[in-house]
Structure 1
């Protein structure tokens, strides 16, 4: 099973990336392709720019999805929405293939420093990603990242860790 993983953030200190890396420890390393959105920087999408052609990075991102069996991602939140970095990649890719996620099974996550755990971006993704070809098997939101996560140990809140592990196990059962 080839796993494509990413955080919906371009921050070098992304807490969503840390959550993704923690979850990936539950899967064999040789099956993981962890992307960095910074490797897919493109002009800001506009219809006028699109007339000049599609950036190679958009084709590359779609090729990474195509080469995978499943997707594990954690959506960062800026101002109650996706980050500009993710949204721009998504906008370009959706113009090439409206089924951006190409009917891949997905484990969807989010986290934030606040108590809502990135719930706004998570809700948007849960509502809309299926229309764009994602088959969301399960989702997990980690509230209060800095209180519930340690960079060395991962999720340290026992109740949240159990919930996450249960969802990882469920996801694994559904994708095998």
Structure 2
């Protein structure tokens, strides 16, 4: 049984990416899944001054511990203006200051979702490129476009082709653990 950490890179209380992560986590029977809603994790905007004055917050150290204890990590990133959100970028800035290799040897299932037709692909691609810098061993990806047309909270992914693609990447991720 593997331990998997799952979270969305969003601090929104209505995050479609958290809904996708929560659904994905529900498919991982036989594994210990730690599902975190980052809307409950306030992190100050990173600056060297804040780091020097206050150090690392308990929330950040706790979050880093969840990553360390996981065999694999599922992340779904949101997109603002074609790139990762400031919240997720800020989180990676803080984590990299605490430990540059905070994803060392971790298998990552990286996803994105948005109400738009591109499925937050800009944020997905940007994040996919940066995660190996933080030590990620491998990254498998999935994007869910047109979230409100393709996802139902009771049923999951309702588009057959997207559901099949999602199932394939989840299977690939689990088999890599």
Tell me the equivalent position of 2:80.
78
Secondary structure of 1:140's partner? Answer: strand
Aligned equivalents of 2:24 and 2:79: distance in 1?
Answer: 19
Deviation per CA, 1:19-65, whole angstroms, max 9, x where unpaired?
11111122127601011213321221111111112222221111110
Number of aligned residues:
175
Aligned equivalents of 1:63 and 1:94: distance in 2?
Answer: 13
Tell me the equivalent position of 1:12.
13
CA RMSD of aligned residues (A): 1.4
Aligned equivalents of 1:42 and 1:173: distance in 2?
Answer: 33
4+ long deviations beyond 2 Å: none
Tell me the equivalent position of 1:61.
63
Secondary structure of 1:98's partner? Answer: coil
- The answer to whether structure 1 residue 36 and structure 2 residue 27 are counterparts is no
Structure 1 stretches lacking a partner, 5+ long: none
Q: CA deviation at 1:137?
A: 3.7
After TM superposition, list the pairs within 5 Å mapping 1:106-117 onto structure 2.
Answer: 106-117=108-119
Tell me the equivalent position of 2:106.
104
Normalised by the length of structure 2, the TM-score is 0.93
Normalised by the length of structure 1, the TM-score is 0.94
